[in-house]
Amino acid sequence: MIELVQFPWSPFCIVQRRILEYTGLKFKIVNVPNTVRSLVWKLTRGRYYAVPIIKDGRTVVFETDEDSQVIAKYLDDTFHLGLFPRELEGVQSILWRGIETEVESHGFKLNDIYWQEFVPRPEWWAFVRHKERKFGRHCLDQWRKQQAQLLQDLARSLLPFEEMLLDHAFLLEGRPRFVDFDLYGMLGNFLYSGHYELPAAHSRLKDWYRRMTRIRSDRFQ
Ligand SMILES: N[C@@H](CCC(=O)N[C@@H](CS)C(=O)NCC(=O)O)C(=O)O
């Protein structure tokens, strides 16, 4: 059985978790602490420390660079999910770069504002240290102060995706492709704390999000 090594609020882990759920097959979730990556390091034989990774029997799959999508392509090949059709290759690559930079950068800050509610207390110091080393001293407090602006920025970054849903049920067509799962993961991270809803003005996106939460691949076979 495939194992997904993750932590629950990670945007990139939510992408792969939803793809695995979409297959309708059983898989195992192995949660690691956000601040401890020894299992990832061990499984990848010292080649990777980020999450997600997946383990499929003796095969361990992980990303090779920021835009590689190795895991999603592995799952797509293994389960014939049709997430990366040839004719959409370039379009999807452009889109996922936007999704994983602009949408993600607003969404994770908004979720991190509530970090004390979901990071276990023994990990607080390491979580704050990790964030501050990457984003500067008191970044979490700054994001709290910028919350209203970040919400506006997020809503603005989502407008093109709302527009993409004008004529079909998923972003590119009448069935979900990789970018649907990618956006779903970024938004799943934004919504994780339970303090937010998707912007009211983006009603198509709200319906799409509900659809994406339940959709299974057997509908498209
Ligand atoms: N492009 C990678 C990004 C993975 C990533 O950035 N994961 C974060 C967690 S959301 C991570 O583990 N970062 C390294 C760290 O926290 O030390 C993917 O799609 O999986």
Nearest atom (ligand 1) to Cα of 62: 20
Q: What is the pLDDT of residues 22-77, one digit of tens each?
A: 999 999 999 999 999 999 999 999 999 999 999 999 999 999 998 899 999 999 99
Q: What is the pLDDT of residue 192?
A: 98
What 3-state class would DSSP assign to 20?
A: helix
For 80-97, write each residue's pLDDT tens digit.
999 999 999 999 999 999
**Residue-level pLDDT at 221:** 76
CA of 39 to the centre of ligand 1 (A): 15
The CA 168 to ligand 1 mean position distance, Å, reads 31
pTM for this model (two decimals): 0.97
Following CA atoms 69, 75, 79, 83 in sequence, which dihedral angle do they give, to the nearest 10 degrees? -20
pLDDT in tens, 168-189: 999 999 999 999 999 999 999 9
Q: Which domains can be identified in the chain, with CATH numbers?
A: 3-79 (3.40.30.10), 86-215 (1.20.1050.10)
Rounded-to-integer distance, Cα 186 and Cα 103, Å: 7
Q: What is the mean pLDDT of the chain?
A: 97
Tell me how far the alpha carbon of residue 97 lies from the centroid of ligand 1, in angstroms: 14
